[in-house]
Amino acid sequence: MSVSTKKEKILIIGIGGGLARITCKLLYKINPNIEIVGIDSRPVDHTIEIPNLKTYRIQYRRGEFENLFRTHQFTKVLFLSRVTHSSISSNLIKKRLNLSLMGTQTILELCLKHNIERLVILSTFHVYGALNDNPVFVYEDAPLRASLAHPEIRDVVEMDQKCQSWMYEFKDQINTVILRPTNIIGPSLQNGITTYLTHPLSFYPLDFNPMIQFIHEYDMAKVLVRSLEDIPLGLYNISANEYLPLKEAVKKINPHAYPLPIFPLEKINQVLNKTFIGVPNYLMDYLKFPCLLANRKFLKIVGPDFFHFNTRESLETLGIRRFHALSL
């Protein structure tokens, strides 16, 4: 990445996460003159300190967003904040769905109103769903079927669909990029897949062994930075080329991981979720059925050597994190 001196002001929605902090470092590295405003509804006390970075903890309400856009003249917006999963009641899921879609609609409208040059939206490959009739590789035009079996991620699916429709409706007014990455892993992240892989009681299904993909957090940050620069308008699957069986991935981090039949695993995880130490219920489907992304569209633009880490190297960084956690 070449160093730039262009004056830019970027809004990052979801600055409290580990991926956002890595992205901030990369943005500043390639453009020391860049100004970044980061917001989050979560605490942002541990956000990385770099020059020209301001962070705010705000509630995602229309009034607060309007004031933010009015106060700052953003050139680009990086939308990282999304709800990943929930084990709550159907009434609360419906309420969360409405709030999530309303917040997304507000951000889209304000980007258009304030003439934002480029909008990058982080979605997830989970919107496709892990089903036994998935094709060998899932392309960007595949149907989004995840919420058929798991209504708790309906908001994620509908947010993706809304953003996609909006992107094409206003394609002549704003350059929008939507990213659907595979499993993002790394020592800075605390998402469902890293929780599963680094749990002290590591396990894998005895009766299933699907192929699985990963992308390292640093490479995902590179994707976000590049998308803010020159990736053409569109929707992109994001994954490295390599994939491997789930059992191999788990045992690479913990050689002593043990197998259990999937049925009791699902029941155990439902109990653990009530104590906030389980993984999302929908993630259990990805321990049974594959959802491998076709990444040809993105790699055609950035080149085959864009990613720094291969799958096994990415897993090694998690293995190191797990070792340090057990040593404490």
Question: Which one is predicted more confidently, 23 or 199?
Answer: 23
pLDDT at residue 323, as a whole number: 42
**Helix, strand or coil for residue 82?**
coil
Q: Do residues 76 and 228 make contact, with C-beta atoms less than 8 angstroms apart?
A: yes
Mean pLDDT across the stretch 171-193?
94
Closest of 323, 84, 315 to residue 216, by C-alpha: 315
Query: What is this structure's pTM?
Result: 0.91
Distance CA 121, CA 114 (A): 17
| Encoded tokens for 283 | 């993630």
* Model confidence band, residue 2 (pLDDT cutoffs 50, 70, 90): low
> If residue 177 lies in a helix (H) or strand (E), which one and from where to where?
strand 175-181
Mean pLDDT across the stretch 169-191?
95
Q: Is 135 exposed, middle or buried (0-12, 13-18, 19+ CB in 10 A)?
A: exposed
Distance CA 160, CA 229 (A): 22
Strand 244-245 vs strand 211-212: parallel, antiparallel, or unpaired?
A: antiparallel
Cα R_g (the chain), whole angstroms: 19
Distance CA 313, CA 215 (A): 10
Amino acid type, 9: K
Amino acid type, 179: L
Mean pLDDT comparison of 58-62, 118-122, 152-156, highest-scoring range: 118-122
Farthest CA pair distance, the chain? 56
* Model confidence band, residue 82 (pLDDT cutoffs 50, 70, 90): low
The secondary structure of 166-233 as a DSSP string is HHHHTTTT-EEEEEEE-EEE-TT--SHHHHHHH-SS-EEESS---EE-EEEHHHHHHHHHHHHHTPPS
Q: Do residues 44 and 58 make contact, with C-beta atoms less than 8 angstroms apart?
A: no
Mean pLDDT across the stretch 258-279?
77
Delineate the domains of the chain, giving CATH numbers in brackets: 82-187+213-243+291-311 (3.40.50.720)
Q: Do residues 154 and 310 make contact, with C-beta atoms less than 8 angstroms apart?
A: no
End-to-end, the C-alpha distance of the chain in Å comes to: 37
pLDDT per position as a tens digit, 94-139: 545 555 677 899 999 999 999 999 999 999 999 999 999 999 999 9
pLDDT per position as a tens digit, 185-214: 998 888 889 888 888 777 889 999 999 999
pLDDT at residue 45, as a whole number: 67
> If residue 178 lies in a helix (H) or strand (E), which one and from where to where?
strand 175-181
